[in-house]
Structure 1
Amino acid sequence: MATSIISTAELKALVLDGNKHQMIADNDYLSQIKPIEDALPAIDPSIRFDPSIHLAFKPEHLKTCKRKTMEELGAACPEQISEVGVSEPFPLFTDEAVEIMRSELLRKEVFDEYGRLSYNSTTGLGAMIRGYAKDAAPFTYAAWTHPVTVSAVSAMAGVELEPIMDYEVASVNVAMKSPDAAQNELVSSRRRSSLGNKFDDDVPAVVGWHNDSYPFVCVLMLSDTSKMIGGETLIKPPSGEIIPAEGPAKGKATVLQGRILNHLASIPIVF
C-alpha cells in the first residue's frame, strides 16, 4: 500500500492558502449546484429572521418527538453532558426560512470562498461549506444564534447549549456525485432494502465516520426529501449496530451528542 506523507511546513502552507487544492471544481458547481440555485424562488434580501414567523418548533414537540438516551444507545459514559443521545427529526424552521438559507448558501461566491471537498467523502465529490454564515449569510447566522432557536435546540438536547464558534455556525454538508457513483449508490440502497434496511460500515457518505469537536450538534435538512432515499444521520455506538436517526425532512432537525457518538452523514439518492 502506498503512503503519501505531507510535511508540516507543506501542510501549513496549504492551510494558510485556504486549501485551494480542495476547492469545488467550476464544472461540478455548474452542473450540480447552479440548477438548484436557479430554481429557487425570488427572495427579498432585506428579510430578517423572526422566530414568530420562521421558527417551526413548538413546546409539544418535546412530547411527540422521540429521543433515545445514551443508555438506550449503549453509550452511557462519564463524559456525556446529557441523558439524551439523539432525537428523531423534529420541526425547527419553516419552509420560508429554509428557502432563504438555501438562497444565501448556494451562490457561486460562497462555494468558492468557503466550500471545500470533504476529506473522507466516499464519492470524492462530497463537500463542506464552513465559516460563511456570519459574513455571507446574515439570515442564516441570525436564525441559528437567536436565543429562541438556541432555547428550542437546548430543550430537545436536554441541556442548556450555546454556539461558541462563529466558524461552525451553519456548517453544511453538500452531496454531489458522478453518474457512476449515483448508480452504485442506487444498487447499494436496493441491497440495503433486501436486508431489511440494515446498514453496514461502507454506507455512501458525504462525511464518513467521525466524532465532532462539539459535545452536541444539531443537523438540519435543507432539501426536499419526498423523492429521496437515505440522507439519514447514522450512529455507530459501542455495540457496533448502526442506528439511523430516521425520517429526515425539509426544515426538520436532529440533535446528536456527536462528541461521543461516532456518526456519519449518509448520501441521499434522488429517484
Structure 2
Amino acid sequence: MAPSLCTDDVTGTGKSGSVKFNAKQHLAYSPPSNILKMKDLGKSPTVLSPVASTEPFPLLSHDAILQHRSEIFSGDVLDNCMHHTRPGSVQIRGMAPRYASFIHEFWHSPEVLKIISENAGVDLIPAMDYEISHTNVQLGPGGLDAVRKTPLEPPAATEEAISEFEKHKPRTRAITDQTRPIIEWHRDSHPFVCVVMLSDAQHMAGGETELKKADGSTLKVKSPQMGCAVILQGRYITHTAAPAANMPERVTIVTSFRPRDPTLLDETTNSNVRNKSHLTELYFQWTTYRLDVLAQRAQIAATELRDMYEKNVNASDPEGKNGLCRVETVEVKAIEAWVEDQMKYMKETLHEMRPLGQ
C-alpha cells in the first residue's frame, strides 16, 4: 500500500518549501510525437498560434510528480485552497507561491517556459500565480474525506482495474456522457493551458480529452500517462474530459498561460474560475496583471513615437535638433484607435470582476 501523505515530508528532503527546482532532476522532457493544428479541427489559426493541441509528452520526472503531490495535498493547501463545486470532483487552486514554493518555481522556470512556448507556437508566461497548477481531483467512494488521505506515491491499478482496462481496451469509447462529469463542455478562461497527469494512468479506462471540431463532430486526445503533459489552446476550443472508470484516483494539474508580448491579443477572462477562488486575491492578481500589460503597451507606444520623432527630425531639420519638428509625428486617428483598444481592455478588466451570478 502506498504511504499516506505527510505534510512535513517532501520526498524525503525535509519540510515543505525546502525543495528547489532543478531542471536536471525534475524534468523528463521528450517532444510530443505529434502536434494537432487548428486546421485539423476545421478551424482557422488564431492570431496567437496555429496550434490546437499536442499529443501527450513526458514532462515531469518522478521526483517532480511527488513534489507536486506533496505540496498540493498538504494540510495548509487543503484547508485554504480546496473548492467543491460539482458532485464528481474538487478543485484545488491558488496555492502558489504561499503554500507551494516548488510548484511556483517549476512553472516560472525558463526551462519549463521554453518547452511550453516552443510547443504552443508562441512565447508564453503563466497567466497569473493563481492559475498555476489548478488541480482537478476526481472523487472516489471515500468522497471529500478521502482527499485528505491522498498518498504521496500515486496508487497503482488493482488486478480488478487492470482486468477492466484490458476488457474495454479494444472498444471505442464515447466520452461525452456528462452523468459523472469531471468537467462540463467548456472553453478555458486563458489562451493556453498545460495539463499534466499526476496519477498512475497506465491502466486507466477513460480520462481522455475530447475536442469539438468546427462541424460539431469531436476528436479525442488520449489521456496522458503519469508525468506527461498536453498543451491545449483551450480558450478557442470547446472541450471536456472523461472520468476515469476503474482507478482509485485521477489527479490532473492545469497551468494557464498568456502571451509574454503585451501587444498580442489578450482575451483572458475569469469566467470559469470566479466561483472557485478567493476573490480578494484573484482580483488583486487580475487587476495588477492587466495594469502591467497596459503600462507595457503604453511604454511601447511612447517609444515608437520617440523613434519616429527622431527620424522626422533627422530627415527635416538641417541642424538635427529636437524642439521644433515641423513634420507630423503623431497620427491622431492611429492614437485614437489605440486609446479605444486600451479603454476596451480596461472595461473588460472591470467586467471580469462583476458580482457572482452576473
TM class by shorter-chain length? 0.7 to 0.9
Match of 2:237 in 1: 261
- Counterparts of 1:80-95 in structure 2, within 5 Å, are 80-95=47-62
Q: Structure 2: which 5+ runs fail to align?
A: 144-160, 248-358
CA distance in 1 between counterparts of 2:176 and 2:127 reads 34
Match of 2:277 in 1: none
Aligned residues between the structures: 223
The verdict on how the C-alpha distance between 1:228 and 1:192 changes in structure 2, with shifts beyond 3 A counting, is: closer
Whether 1:108 aligns to 2:68 is: no
Match of 1:16 in 2: none
CA distance in 1 between counterparts of 2:244 and 2:77 reads 22
CA contact (8 A) 2:178 2:184 kept: no
CA distance in 1 between counterparts of 2:73 and 2:94 reads 14
The farther-off stretch of 130-139 and 228-237 is: 228-237
Match of 1:158 in 2: 121
1:44 is aligned, of 11, 14, 23, to 14
1:74 is aligned, of 14, 21, 42, to 42
Match of 1:222 in 2: 198
CA contact (8 A) 1:234 1:263 kept: yes
The verdict on how the C-alpha distance between 1:148 and 1:226 changes in structure 2, with shifts beyond 3 A counting, is: same
Match of 1:183 in 2: none
Whether 1:98 aligns to 2:68 is: no
The verdict on how the C-alpha distance between 1:166 and 1:179 changes in structure 2, with shifts beyond 3 A counting, is: closer
2:28 is aligned, of 42, 56, 60, to 56
The verdict on how the C-alpha distance between 1:242 and 1:112 changes in structure 2, with shifts beyond 3 A counting, is: farther
Match of 1:17 in 2: none
Identity of aligned residues (%): 32
CA contact (8 A) 1:200 1:242 kept: no
Superposed CA offset, 1:104-126 (max 9, x none): 111233112111013xx4xx031
Match of 1:177 in 2: 140
2:207 is aligned, of 222, 225, 231, to 231
CA distance in 2 between counterparts of 1:265 and 1:36 reads 28
Larger radius of gyration: 2
Please report the TM-score for the alignment, with normalisation by the length of structure 2: 0.56
Q: How many angstroms does 1:191 deviate by? A: 11
Q: Structure 1: which 5+ runs fail to align?
A: 1-33, 181-185
Equivalent AA in structure 1 for residue 5 of structure 2: E
Question: Secondary structure, in 3 states, of the residue corresponding to 1:226?
Answer: coil
Q: Which has the higher contact order (CA 8 A, sep 6+)?
A: 1
Question: Secondary structure, in 3 states, of the residue corresponding to 1:101?
Answer: helix
CA contact (8 A) 2:11 2:67 kept: no
Match of 2:100 in 1: 137
1:246 is aligned, of 218, 222, 227, to 222
